[in-house]
């Protein structure tokens, strides 16, 4: 799987992103910072025409969301629609594997500045999403993979930034302590310093994450950041992608074609 903040692309940049994604070997893409835009419509249409299973709750105007595109059958569900506040910022579906059903949870948590409105907005969304994650006994017992741009960093992040508030660190901790998930990157690289977004001042942040249920931890064979999309020329996004590989066999693979070709306009010969 690969999760990537695509930074609300224009139609032109979305085509270049689709060209790059078409070269990747992952079975599932979780794309964050999507919009109800021509660029994101091109991505969704390209994946759909190429035979992918696509889950893309349409964001409201001026809002953002998540798109899941998969080379295996996804059973879409209404779990994320139970999120009353900014519902498009979570997308959920179930993939069937030799390990049993795995609930995929794509997330794009709100960012913020220092204004009280933005702080309250982020705090409310994280709180309501966490409450939904707690859910019923069934929700707590299911096997989960949570992927996306959480806009939070780990409590012992290097470097240490004073602007992060207690509720942001508490959310990261809650994924482990309350929701019984494991940071897949930290499982494979306990002490590595990596950043998936770097600001204009050169400060780096590990905003993009993959968390998995304990039952999947032993099946994580690799997890690493893919920086070429942020550092390459042309740059495809302001975020690096995060790839995770698990020793799971999908039970319902799809026959897919090249999504970059599928999304291209027809050519007359």
H/E stretch holding 242 = strand 241-246
Residue 269: pLDDT over 50: no
What are the distances in angstroms from CA 127 to CA 69, 148, 182, 250? 27, 17, 19, 33
Dist. CA 110–CA 11, nearest whole Å: 23
pTM: 0.95
Question: What are the φ and ψ backbone dihedral angles of 77, each rounded to 5 degrees?
Answer: -140, 175
pLDDT for res 230: 98
pLDDT tops 50 at residue 242: yes
Say if residues 69 and 39 touch (Cβ distance below 8 Å): no
> What's the mean per-residue pLDDT of the chain?
94
pLDDT band at 222 (very low <50, low <70, confident <90, very high): very high
**How confident is the model over 244-257, as a mean pLDDT?**
97
């Amino acid at each position: 799987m690969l999760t990537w903040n695509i930074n609300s692309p224009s139609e032109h940049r979305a085509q270049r992103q689709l060209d790059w994604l078409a070269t990747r070997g992952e079975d599932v893409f979780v794309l964050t910072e999507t919009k109800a835009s021509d660029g994101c419509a091109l991505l969704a249409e390209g994946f759909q025409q190429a035979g992918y299973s696509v889950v893309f709750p349409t964001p409201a105007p001026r809002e953002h969301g998540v798109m899941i595109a998969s080379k295996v059958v996804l059973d879409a569900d209404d779990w994320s629609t139970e999120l009353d506040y900014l519902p498009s910022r979570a997308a959920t579906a179930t993939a069937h594997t030799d390990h049993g059903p795995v609930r995929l949870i794509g997330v794009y948590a709100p960012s913020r500045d220092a204004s009280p409105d933005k702080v309250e907005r982020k705090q409310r969304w994280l709180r309501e999403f966490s409450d939904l994650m707690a859910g019923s006994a069934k929700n707590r017992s299911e096997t989960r993979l949570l992927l996306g741009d959480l806009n939070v960093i780990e409590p012992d992040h290097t470097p240490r930034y004073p602007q992060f508030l207690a509720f942001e660190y508490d959310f990261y901790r809650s994924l482990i302590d309350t929701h019984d998930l494991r940071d897949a990157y930290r499982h494979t690289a306990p002490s590595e310093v990596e950043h998936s977004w770097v600001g204009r001042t050169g400060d780096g942040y590990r905003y993009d994450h993959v968390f998995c249920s304990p039952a999947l931890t032993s099946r994580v064979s690799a997890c690493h950041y893919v920086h070429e999309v942020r550092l390459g020329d042309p740059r495809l996004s302001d975020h690096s992608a995060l790839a995770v590989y698990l020793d799971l066999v999908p039970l319902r693979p799809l026959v897919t074609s090249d999504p970059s070709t599928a999304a291209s306009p027809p050519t007359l010969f």
